[in-house]
Amino acid sequence: MRIVDLIHREMILPSLRSTDKIGIIKELAAHLAANHSALDRSTLTRVLIERESLASTAIGEGVAIPHGKLSAVDSIVACLGRVRRGVDFDSMDGQPTYLFFVLVAPEASTGAHLKALARISRVFKDAEFRRRLLSADDADQMYAVIAEEDAKH
C-alpha cells in the first residue's frame, strides 16, 4: 500500500491554525468533509473525537494518526495536516505533535484500514522523512516528499 494511493495533494494542509487537540480534529474534519461529499463534518468530528477519547492517536515523535470508520465512505479517505508550533495531543512520548494524518475507512473495513495505519505509522517513524515534511514550503512540496518516500518501497 502506498500513501499516495490514500492522499491527494489538495488533502494536504501545511498550515493548520488550531492550537489544541479538539481544534486540530475539527479543522481536519472540516477539510475532509468539504472535499468529500459523502462526509458530514459534524459526524466525522464526533467519530474522530470519540476514537481519540479511547486513547490518544499521537504515536510520538511529533506524529498523530487520528482515524475512524464511517458507513458514508466506500474507500479510505485521508488528510494530512501540519502545524509548525506543535500542539499538545497527549502523545505517548509527552512531546508536541506537528503532523496529523487522518484516516477515515468504511465501517466494514478491517484489513485495508489496519494496513493503512501500519504503513503510515512505519513511514512516519523515519526521522528524515518527518524532517523533510516539516521543512517543506507548501502542500506541493509535502506531497513530493510523500511520493519520493513511497517510491523507495
Q: How many CB atoms lie within 10 A of CB 131?
A: 12
Containing 87, the helix (H) or strand (E) segment is: strand 77-87
DSSP 39-78: --HHHHHHHHHHHHHHS--EEETTEE--EEEETT-SS-EE
Q: Quote the pLDDT of residue 57.
A: 95
Q: What is the span of the domain harbouring residue 60?
A: 3-151
pLDDT in tens, the chain (153 residues): 789 999 999 999 999 999 999 999 999 999 999 999 989 999 999 999 999 999 999 999 999 999 999 999 999 999 999 999 999 999 999 999 999 999 999 998 878 888 888 899 999 999 999 999 999 999 999 999 999 998 887
Residue 67 appears among annotated catalytic residues: yes
CATH of the domain at 133: 3.40.930.10
Total domains, the chain: 1
Could you tell me the pTM of the whole model?
Answer: 0.94
From 8, 31, 36, 67, the catalytic residue = 67
Q: Are 25 and 45 in contact (CB under 8 A)?
A: yes
Q: Are 3 and 120 in contact (CB under 8 A)?
A: yes
